[in-house]
Structure 1
Amino acid sequence: MSTLKEKVGSIAQQTSDLTEQTNQIGTIINIVSDLASQTNMLALNAAVEAVRAGEHGRGFGVVATEIRKLADQSKQSAQKINALIFGIQSAIDSTVLATDEGRKTAEEGIELSQETATAFNEVTHAINEIVLSKQQTSLTSINDIVVASQQISLNAKQQAIAIEQVADAMNNINQGASQTASGITQTKVGIQKLNEVAQDLKAIV
């Protein structure tokens, strides 16, 4: 876009130079046209004087006629050149307008490209921030999960130990209950024996 702007500026400068040159040519053509008009008037006056001179001025009259023809041709050529210059100037004016529009378009394109580059930089920065934030959040979440897993594992171990302790206590209770039942049985047997002894004593008495 910068290169395009430079080229458009160069075209504008060349067009300005061409406009100046065509203006100079137009000035020269106007001078030539004036000279042709003056030459035509002089040739006309010479032809009149040749007629007055009679036979002695006939040759001069022929020369004056030819000069008038040349003056007319020069004037016509000058008019054609003026028409061409007018067309060239119209084309130059159109070129100036086109180059001006091209310059504006190039400037707008440069501004737009700069804004686009800025927008891309901002988007890239935002994406980097989002990615970094997501990474940090993910790391934090992973750490939280690891800590929670460790706590769950510790709790599970503690619960397993507590269950083992409860099982041991239950075993101890079962053993105590068995021993108690055995003691009760022995006590019952002893009571029965005492009853039997008591009955024997009672019979003796």
Structure 2
Amino acid sequence: AISAGDIIVTVNDVSERTHLLALNAAIEAAAAGESGRSFAVVASEMKLLADQAKAATGQVRGILGEIQRGINTSVMLTEEAVKRAASGKTRSDTTQRTIEEITARVEENVQTFQQIVASTNQQQLGIEQVMGA
């Protein structure tokens, strides 16, 4: 698979070679004198295009760098969110267990209180029977 970086390197190489060819063509056109003048214009345009291609690859490289930084930041934020969610679940589970334990103790206390009330009623009946006797 060809990556964007490979394409940038290739375009950059092509633009550098085109720049060298344009420079050589300009030298040859100058050496040809008046008859090479129109070729010098073509060589100048080739050089301009090569410079634009090189500048474009620099811009693309910068954009790809920004995209990569954005992806890295996104990955880090996602990992942090996953860690926070896991931590929140752990706290939630602990809270749930604590509430269940408190509920069980309250139920035990209610049963104990009911037993105390029943015993007190029996004692009251016993006291009333003793008093009656």
Query: What band does the TM-score fall into relative to the shorter chain?
Result: 0.7 to 0.9
Q: Distance in 1 between matches of 2:6 and 2:110?
A: 72
Q: What is the identity, as a one-letter code, of the residue corresponding to 1:131?
A: V
- Point out 4+ residue stretches in structure 1 off by more than 4 angstroms: none
| Superposed CA RMSD | 2.0
The structure-2 alpha-carbon separation of the partners of 1:124 and 1:55, relative to structure 1 and needing over 3 Å to count, comes to same
Q: What pairs up with 1:91-170 in 2 under 5 angstroms?
A: 91-154=70-133
Q: What is the identity, as a one-letter code, of the residue corresponding to 1:150?
A: Q
Higher Rg: 1
Structure-1-length-normalised TM-score: 0.58
Q: What pairs up with 1:64-79 in 2 under 5 angstroms?
A: 64-79=43-58
Structure-2-length-normalised TM-score: 0.86
The structure-2 alpha-carbon separation of the partners of 1:119 and 1:27, relative to structure 1 and needing over 3 Å to count, comes to farther
Shift in Å, 1:43: 1.5
- Secondary structure of the residue aligned to 1:104 is helix
Q: Distance in 2 between matches of 1:83 and 1:33?
A: 14
Give unmatched runs, 5+ long, in structure 1: 1-23, 155-205
Deviations 1:61-101 (A, max 9, x none): 21111011011011112112222222222232222222221
Report % sequence identity.
36
Q: What is the identity, as a one-letter code, of the residue corresponding to 2:86?
A: E
Shift in Å, 1:35: 1.8
Q: What pairs up with 1:10-49 in 2 under 5 angstroms?
A: 24-49=3-28
Q: Which residue of 2 aligns with 1:54?
A: 33
The structure-2 alpha-carbon separation of the partners of 1:142 and 1:27, relative to structure 1 and needing over 3 Å to count, comes to farther
- Which structure carries more relative contact order (alpha carbon 8 Å, separation 6+)? 1
Shift in Å, 1:109: 0.6
Q: What is the identity, as a one-letter code, of the residue corresponding to 1:39?
A: T
